[in-house]
């Protein structure tokens, strides 16, 4: 089971790396291996995620601690993944820093949310109504990870979802790796769309003046 999950997560990592979503070793990925006891694979800290090695991930427990002693350290944000797996039936969670999600988080950070309506890709979040509204919370980027995890946990209520951390990327989760990646891709599409729309509106206003 561990090897199978390892390869599944490695494939996701390779795909996201091709999109250049791991700048400066940023980002972290996790996939659940078992429920009882709760154990999951998470990216090792400080690794170049554009490369595939035997030290990309390590197995951690329900507290985010390595199951076996080794020289690797779990990603700094492992506690966020812990909250997801403790509170939901999610099987995979992904965290990436992109320019688009950081800019969106700064533009809408004071509001605490960014909202989308009338966009087809909202369906990736299992919202199928014609006038569906998607709201993604934005939380403060606490340097103290336990504090960050505590605030993050307040928004982990369903088996799939997304939370933006202001100027610190997005964390998404889903039933499995496919679902988590789908939510991540849809989120990044919506962010890019919103930024282009704002730029277009700004340009039109400038022309009008």
Write the pLDDT tens digit of every residue in 167-208: 999 999 999 999 999 999 999 999 999 999 998 776 676 666
pLDDT, residue 118, reads 87
Angle at 21 between CA 194 and CA 44, to 5 degrees: 140
Write the pLDDT tens digit of every residue in 46-97: 888 899 999 999 999 999 999 998 888 999 899 999 999 999 999 999 999 9
For domain 2-208, is the CATH number 3.40.225.10?
yes
State how far the Cα of 90 lies from the Cα of 86, in Å rounded to an integer: 9
Angle at 87 between CA 184 and CA 62, to 5 degrees: 100
Write the pLDDT tens digit of every residue in 104-148: 999 999 999 999 998 999 999 999 888 899 999 999 999 999 999
pLDDT, residue 131, reads 85
pLDDT at 4 over 70: yes
pLDDT, residue 201, reads 79
User: Any idea where the domains of the chain sit in the sequence?
Assistant: 2-208
* CA nearest to 159, candidates 97, 102, 92: 92
pLDDT at 209 over 80: no
pLDDT, residue 70, reads 86
């Amino acid at each position: 089971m561990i090897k199978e999950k390892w390869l599944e997560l490695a494939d996701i990592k390779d795909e996201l790396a091709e999109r250049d979503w791991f700048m400066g070793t940023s980002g972290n990925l996790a996939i659940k291996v078992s429920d009882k006891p709760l154990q999951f694979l998470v990216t090792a800290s400080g690794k170049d995620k554009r490369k595939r090695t035997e030290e990309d991930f390590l197995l951690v427990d329900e507290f985010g601690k390595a199951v076996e002693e080794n020289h690797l350290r779990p990603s700094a944000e492992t506690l966020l993944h812990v909250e997801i797996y403790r509170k939901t039936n999610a099987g995979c969670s992904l965290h990436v820093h992109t320019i688009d999600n950081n800019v969106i988080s700064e533009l809408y950070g004071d509001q605490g949310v960014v909202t989308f309506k009338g966009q087809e890709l909202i369906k990736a979040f299992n919202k199928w109504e014609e006038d569906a509204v998607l709201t993604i919370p934005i939380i403060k980027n606490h340097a103290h990870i336990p504090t960050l995890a505590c605030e993050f946990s307040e928004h982990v209520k369903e088996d799939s979802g997304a939370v933006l951390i202001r100027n610190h990327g997005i964390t998404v989760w889903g039933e499995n790796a496919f679902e988590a990646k789908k939510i991540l891709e849809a989120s990044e599409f919506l962010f890019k769309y919103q930024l282009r729309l704002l730029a277009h509106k700004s340009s039109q206003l400038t022309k009008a003046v």
